Each structure stands twice: as C-alpha cells, then as structure tokens.
C-alpha cells in the first residue's frame, strides 16, 4: 500500500459476491499496538469497499496504551484527541476458516487527510524491507509459535493435559486439536511446517513457512488468532504469554530470518565462520550489537523477564553461535546439502508480547546497519555461559542482556540505529509504553506480574 489512502476503487478488490457465497458477513480489521495487543474494528461485508477506500476510524490513543489498557501519553503520540483511518490491506484478506461468517485483514494506518500515519507499525516494517531491497538484498522471515493450553474456568493456569515433554502422550491428548488447527491454517493460506508438544506445562509449538517480512508479521497475528479460536472450540484456553507460572519454563516467539543477494544466501557458501559470507556476517553482527535495544521491542514486557532466565534456552546472553540454544542469536546452517536454502538466524530472546511488525522491522534495521558499517562478529560461544564464573564470562566478552523492562527501555533509548529507523514519533511511543509498564510493575512480585499478563496474549 502507498503513502496515501486510495481515492478510487482499490486495486485488487476482493470478490465480495464470492465471500458472501462463502458465508462471510463481517470483516475484522486489525492492528497491533506498541504493547503487543491486537486491536480490532469490524465492518459488515457490504461496507468493505468503503473501508478500503476511506478507512475505519480509530483513536490514536492506542499508540501509547500499556498492555493492561492504561492510557499514557508520549512526547508526540497518545492522548484522547484526533482520529486515524484503518485501511484494510485487501491483498491479505482471508476468510477465517475457524470463525465462520468472518474474514480478516490487517490494517495500515493513515491520517484523516489521507497521509500515512507516522506511527504505523506495519508501514515501519515495510519501510525496512524497502531499505533492505535498496541495498540489493531480500529477506524472508517466520515466527515460531509456542503457547500453553489451560482449562477455561480458572484465572490461574491449570494445564489442559499432562505428560512428559515432547511426548507421545501429549500428542495423543492434542491430536484432534492439532488436526483441526492445521486444517484451519491451511484453509487460510498458511503453510504449516511442523507441530509438536513442547517442554513447559500444557505447551505446544507450531511453525509456519518463511515468507517476506511484512507477510510473516501478518501471519503471526493470524496464527495466534486462529489458535485462540480453535482452542476455545475444544474447551481450552490458549495463552502465548511468556510466563504462566513463575519459576517454570515459558513461551517464546522466536524470529527466524534469512537474507539473500543476487548470488544467494548470505548465511551459506562463504569463507567466514560456518559458511557465512562477508555481508551475512555483518548482518548478524549488526543484530548482535543492537540486541539489548531490540529486547525492548521483542520482549520488553515485565513478564518477559520472568522467562528470560539462564539455562532455559531463552537466549539471555548477548552472544551468537551455531546451534547455540543459550545464545540470543542462534545460527542455523541446515544439514549437508541444504545450506543454501535452509541457513537462517534465530533471535531466541523474543516472545509473543512483541508487536511482530516492529520486531521484524527493527531486526532488519539492525542487520542492515551492520552491513553498511561492515561489522564483524566476535568469537562464537558454545555451551551454557551460566556455568562460567563472572570473571571468565567477562574475559570472553559474554554479556547478559537487560534483566528487567526498565533496563531494556534504556537500551532502546540509547540506540541511534533504531531511533533513526523508527523515527522520533514511533521510537518515543515505544519508549513511553515500555517505561510506563516498567514503572507500574517495578514493585510487583513474579506471581503478580504473571497474573496480570497470563491471558493478555
């Protein structure tokens, strides 16, 4: 979508008559705020054309809403005044297979005079994709989805099933659920790569195929939406929150990313570590440098830090390594013969409290800065840094990522790379949200934080 609302019939207008035959009556139009909550408006199918031409009204106050719906105000954005237009991207409109009678489309944000809104997170991601393309590169991305299934009649978390981690017993308990979920996602145009029971209580995981970064963020919203609907149908309650029970393993929202140029994958076929090509190494070094600031975007909620603990494969260390599951930046090279198409990097410290458009856009901006500056990676780290004493970690250059929301927000405030990429309005709005959340929960104990966030995602 361009920088202004289309004033004529939008290109690629969907077949309303066919949607009607398919039983669609209402279209959900969604955006994700800076706290990671998905906000929605809905229009009857007959009004879809008008919505695509002129948008649907929404208050800009949501730009600085905290995750628990407290309205704060930033330097540029927030407050009760003004209006935005949510314009559905009809190229992404899909009939919701798990929610009969409904279709869904992600929204781009515009002002009332038709110009692009400076705080539009989806436009931010698209802008980073364009910047990557201008450098002669192409990126593909996908989010992993981990969530826990609980009983529906308690605000506490009561696991929907039991059994060993990754076990056949858990798969048997979720077999019909998984079959219906995968069928619904396939009916909505998503390619599911795998489904399996996970480690934590009541936890499962699903992966979808990589695609362009903006579509990958759209897919993240759609997958989580579908999971919650199908879970309710099976009598369960799904939570993507990073921590359900303090002290236990949590759910991540890892981002996978690959980058190519005209000669192929930047992470394969080169003379650098594990086949990295020079631009690929620089791209990873850019991400690695900005990880403390990226954490505020990808996992900056107070609950995120209940998950971000050493020795839990959560990626709390600002290091990289091949297949290093304790590293925040994990290089995946693929097996012999697959490197050219399989090699990618995983940002392990992210979770589902993030706005996926901001997460993917910020990582692209960080990586591209590394390419421009021709950064190089430090030595990789293997094993668990937590087993080293502090002196040995310091000598090896191993640093812990921020350990609370306030520290992460400070890192974002200090990042010149992300400040420039986001622009002053969006950068300040993100800081406003994260600092407000950090302040509100600074004295809360882990149980209080988990209770406040358990069913928000």
Paired strand residues for 344: 332
Residue 104's pLDDT is: 98
101's CB contacts (< 8 A; 6+ apart) are 23, 24, 25, 26
454's tokens: 């358990």
Please state the three-class secondary structure of 235-256 as a single string: CCEEECCCCCCCCCCCCCCCEE
Residue 14 is predicted with a pLDDT of 79
Specify whether the CB–CB gap between 103 and 70 falls below 8 A.
no
What is the pLDDT, as a whole number, of residue 271? 94
Q: Could you give the CA distance from residue 439 to residue 434 in angstroms, rounded to a whole number?
A: 9
Residues of the chain with pLDDT under 70: 1-2, 5-13
| CA distance linking residue 224 with residue 146, whole number of Å | 10
Which residue has 């992966």 as its token pair? 207
CB 131 within 8 A of CB 365: yes
CATH top class, domain 16-117 = alpha beta
Closest CA to 59 of 117, 106, 2, 1: 117
User: Residue with structure tokens 């579908």?
Assistant: 226
Given the DSSP bridges, would you call strands 102-111 and 26-32 parallel, antiparallel or unpaired?
parallel
At the topology level of CATH, where does 127-453 sit?
Creatine Kinase; Chain A, domain 2 (3.30.590)
Please report the pLDDT score of residue 5 as a whole number. 66
DSSP string, 11-55: TT---HHHHHHTT--EEEEEEE-TTS-EEEEEEEGGGHHHHHHH-
What is the distance between the alpha carbons of residues 441 and 300, in angstroms, rounded to a whole number? 12
Q: Which helix (H) or strand (E) holds 207?
A: strand 203-208
273 and 311 in contact (C-beta within 8 Å)? no
Residue 7: what pLDDT? 53
Q: What is the pLDDT of residue 212?
A: 97
- The answer to pTM > 0.85 is yes
Residues in the chain: 457
Match 């795998």 to its residue by tokens: 194
pLDDT of residue 11: 43
Q: Domain-by-domain residue ranges, the chain?
A: 16-117, 127-453
- What is the structure's pLDDT at 161? 92
């Amino acid at each position: 979508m361009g920088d202004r609302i289309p004033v004529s019939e939008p290109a690629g207008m969907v077949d309303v008559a066919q949607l009607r035959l398919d039983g669609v009556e209402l279209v959900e139009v969604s955006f994700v705020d800076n706290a990671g909550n998905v906000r929605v408006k809905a229009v009857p199918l007959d009004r879809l054309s008008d919505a695509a031409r002129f948008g649907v009204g929404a208050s800009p106050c949501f730009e600085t809403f905290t995750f628990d719906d407290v309205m704060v105000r930033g330097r540029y954005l927030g407050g009760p005044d003004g209006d935005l237009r949510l314009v559905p991207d009809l190229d992404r409109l899909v009939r919701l297979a798990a929610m009969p009678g409904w279709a869904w489309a992600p929204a781009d944000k515009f002002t009332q005079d038709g110009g692009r809104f400076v705080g539009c997170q989806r436009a931010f991601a698209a802008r980073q994709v364009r910047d990557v393309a201008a450098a002669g590169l192409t990126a593909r991305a996908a989010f992993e989805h981990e969530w826990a299934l609980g009983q529906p009649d308690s605000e506490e978390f009561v696991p929907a099933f039991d059994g060993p981690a990754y076990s056949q017993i858990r798969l048997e308990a979720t077999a019909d659920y998984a079959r219906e979920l995968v069928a619904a996602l396939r009916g909505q145009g998503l390619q599911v790569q795998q489904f399996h029971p996970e480690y934590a209580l009541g936890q499962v995981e699903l992966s979808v195929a990589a695609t362009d970064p903006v579509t990958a963020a759209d897919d993240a919203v759609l997958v989580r939406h579908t999971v919650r609907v199908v879970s309710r149908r099976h009598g369960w309650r799904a939570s993507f929150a990073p921590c359900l029970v303090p002290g236990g393993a949590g759910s991540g929202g890892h981002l996978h990313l690959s980058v190519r140029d005209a000669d192929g994958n930047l992470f394969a076929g080169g003379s650098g570590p594990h086949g990295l090509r020079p631009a690929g190494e620089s791209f990873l070094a850019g991400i690695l440098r900005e990880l403390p600031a990226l954490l505020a975007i990808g996992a900056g909620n107070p609950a995120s830090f209940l998950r971000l603990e050493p020795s839990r494969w959560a990626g709390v260390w600002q290091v990289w390594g091949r297949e290093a599951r304790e590293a925040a930046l994990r290089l995946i090279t693929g097996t012999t013969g697959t490197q050219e198409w399989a090699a990618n990097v995983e940002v392990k410290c992210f979770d589902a409290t993030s706005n996926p458009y901001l997460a993917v856009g910020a990582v692209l901006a960080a990586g591209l800065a590394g390419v421009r500056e021709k950064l190089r990676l430090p030595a990789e780290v293997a094993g668990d840094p937590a087993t080293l004493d502090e002196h040995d970690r310091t000598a090896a250059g191993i640093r812990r990522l921020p350990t609370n929301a306030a520290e992460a927000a400070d890192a974002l405030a200090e990042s010149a790379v992300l400040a420039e990429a986001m622009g002053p309005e969006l950068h300040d709005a993100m800081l406003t949200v994260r600092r407000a959340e950090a302040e509100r929960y600074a004295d809360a104990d882990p149980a209080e934080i988990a209770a406040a966030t358990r069913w928000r995602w």
